[in-house]
Amino acid sequence: MQALEERYGGPERRRHRVFVTRNTEYHFRDGLCVAVRDRRSGKWLPSHLALERRLSGGVRFQPNGSAIPCLDVPGVGEALFFADGGRELVTSLLSAVERPEKETVRQYPAHAR
């Protein structure tokens, strides 16, 4: 039996997504980075450069080491790329793309709620 999300063919309605790197979680609501958390300590990082910025796309790294920017939403093995709203930022490679638990969303720092 297929999972509901595999059968559903309509528009994406979920608002939250988490991009996970080795050390950091980037929490997005409606395409805007609303919270960043250090994975080791579990603490929110209130002054991270990604906060309150939209994702510009991703960066794919080739076996020869060259980096290729893309406008698609990045997946595992690619990096997040922020170009607008401050200095350019490229994260380390993604290890997962997830949906946050409701309890995690409730724990977002006050500015992100």
Please provide residue 44's backbone torsions phi and psi, each rounded to the nearest 5 degrees. -75, 145
pLDDT in tens, 55-81: 999 999 999 989 999 999 999 999 999
Would you kindly state where each structural domain of the chain is located, as residue ranges? 10-112
pLDDT in tens, 11-34: 666 799 999 999 999 999 999 999
Within 10 A of 84 (CB to CB), how many other CB atoms are there? 9
DSSP state of 42: -
